[in-house]
Amino acid sequence: MNEILKPAAGDDIVTCDACPVLCRIRTGRTGACDRYGNVAGKLTRLDPFVITQKIAAKDGAVVPFAGKDWDGKIVPDAPLFVTGVGAGTTYPDYKPAPFIVSSNHQGVDMVTVVTEGIFSYCGVKVKIDTDRYVGPETAAVRVGGEQVGHVTTAEYGSQMLSVGGVRHLTGGSKKEGVVTCETLLKLCSGEAVEMRVDEGATLTVQAGKAPVINGTQEERMRVGCGSATIGIFAKQWFGHVDEVIVVDDHITGVLTEHQAGRFLDMPLAGIRVRGRKSTPGRYFQVAEPGTGWGGTNVQDPLEIIEKIDIKHAKPGLRLLMVSTTGEHSAYFVLDAQLKPQKAAMPAHLNMTVERIGENCEPALTTVLFMAGAGGSLRAGVTENPVRLTRSVKDALTRVTSGGAPVYVWPGGGITFMVDVTTMPAKSFGHVPTPAIVAPIEFTMRREDYAALGGHLDSIRRIEDVAKADRLQVQQWHDHGPWPGAPLPKDAA
Ligand code: SF4
């Protein structure tokens, strides 16, 4: 139970109508989601309502307030933006949104419509910067044994998970829905979540932090695929080595066959690797995916050498084998029988291996929340919801989430994605339907709000809203354009 509630005299029950659960809440208690409570017989949204403020902004940059520590109170004359965090919901949505706020930005009258959306259609896309194998594409991702998502298409240097979505929230067992909802809430709130991939790895992922795979914290994402690594470093290897093989789960590169080696007039070394040749010096499927060299299952790099061609190879030939992060490397010299013999790595080659590592960016986990605001939520903004959708598509209305910039997908509806690390702390909640609660704001010029059939009678001035109870003022974090500004085409 939320600490701030104190039992009051009497035992009045209030019914919360902020979501379909319709909790009946006794005095001093909270509803099932802990977001609403019965405070002395009155239904009350309990968490702080977050307003963000551009403190002492000069030329668009945020500078310390008058050289002193900011005391957390509203600073007169600094721009304010009302976020949806803690704003509450209106259910069913035919009622106007909880806050419809007017403000003025550089002489333009603006309106921001603010609510906490309840999203059954939502999930997160998790980007894990590693070439380490996490599991087969489409494999189930589980938390506490329940499937909460799946491995999806890998991206350049990163493994990708899709977690949540309406099928796991509502289409499976009750437990699957509950665990999925809890997982989403933790990921969106920046907490660590431990997951297991069927036929794959155990993962600990946390937004903005390095992933942990099979108990080992990842340090680097790869510099590029094997072919790209050849392209980047070919000139630095030229003259110091006769062949370089960059081992990679996706594209293994072979320097003397590769276009880069051809341009440098390097003679073919005659070392053939396994796998399917794609184009010169670029090989697919040299090994199975795994946790060895370059995201393959290779522990000894010589395993991927299929044959050494006596037509080109010579005793004394110098061979460097390296992974795409520089984490694995080995140097060989061919003996009289053309067998690679391990040798001490020359200093120059060692420097190039270290430089591969230096060029790898730190491995991070990124969590993008994705949800559809194209449903009934729009009715809290306008009597004619399709006009809101059109206004967003026509770039007349800016969509933000907790003031953070979002990407709105083209096509139907208002399906958006937002980086959870750019949002205020505690932006997310849940209801037991189950669904995720997230802030959303629609900002537009007042005349455009009138044109889309907005609830004009419900507009309140920002100065009045700024006097609301349970207000929390947070300094604008400057992650994107000021959310209260007119869209660029209007400002032009
Ligand atoms: S779950 Fe929360 S929002 Fe839904 S009715 Fe209960 S208290 Fe209200």
Ligand 1 center to residue 484 CA distance, Å? 30
Ligand 1 center to residue 186 CA distance, Å? 19
Weakest mean pLDDT among 63-77, 147-161, 396-410: 63-77
Q: Is the pLDDT of residue 3 over 50?
A: no
| Between residues 487 and 102, the one the model is more confident about | 102
Angle at 92 between CA 89 and CA 94, to 5 degrees: 100
Q: Is the pLDDT of residue 1 over 70?
A: no
What is the arithmetic mean of pLDDT over 373-383? 90
Taking only the tens place, the pLDDT of each residue in 32-72 is 999 999 999 999 999 999 999 887 545 555 545 445 566 67
Q: What is the mean pLDDT of the chain?
A: 91
Model confidence band, residue 10 (pLDDT cutoffs 50, 70, 90): low
Q: Is the pLDDT of residue 78 over 90?
A: no
| Whether 24 contacts 15, CB under 8 Å | yes
Most ligand 1 atoms within 8 A of CB, residue of 2, 15, 33 to mutate: 33
C-alpha distances out from residue 268 to 177, 244, 274, Å: 58, 11, 16
| Between residues 57 and 302, the one the model is more confident about | 302
The rounded distance, in Å, linking the Cα atoms of 115 and 483 is 15
Ligand 1 center to residue 202 CA distance, Å? 34
The rounded distance, in Å, linking the Cα atoms of 152 and 161 is 5
Nearest CA to ligand 1 atom 7: 31
Most ligand 1 atoms within 8 A of CB, residue of 14, 25, 36 to mutate: 36
Q: Is the pLDDT of residue 2 over 90?
A: no
The rounded distance, in Å, linking the Cα atoms of 422 and 441 is 15
What is the arithmetic mean of pLDDT over 427-450? 96
Nearest CA to ligand 1 atom 4: 19
Model confidence band, residue 4 (pLDDT cutoffs 50, 70, 90): very low
- Pocket around ligand 1 at a 6 A CB cut-off: 16, 18-19, 21-23, 31-33, 35-36, 431-432
Ligand 1 center to residue 24 CA distance, Å? 9
Ligand 1 center to residue 427 CA distance, Å? 17
Ligand 1 center to residue 175 CA distance, Å? 19
**Cβ burial, residue 196 (10 Å; 0-12/13-18/19+):** middle
Weakest mean pLDDT among 13-27, 83-97, 313-327: 83-97
Which atom belonging to ligand 1 lies closest to the Cα atom of 37? 7
Give the helix/strand (H/E) hosting 152.
Answer: strand 146-155
Which atom belonging to ligand 1 lies closest to the Cα atom of 432? 1
Residue among 132, 353, 134 nearest 229 (CA): 353
Partners of 323 in beta bridges: 247
Nearest CA to ligand 1 atom 2: 33
Model confidence band, residue 491 (pLDDT cutoffs 50, 70, 90): very low
C-alpha distances out from residue 144 to 177, 196, 341, Å: 12, 9, 48
Most ligand 1 atoms within 8 A of CB, residue of 16, 90, 115 to mutate: 16
Which atom belonging to ligand 1 lies closest to the Cα atom of 15? 5
Ligand 1 center to residue 28 CA distance, Å? 15
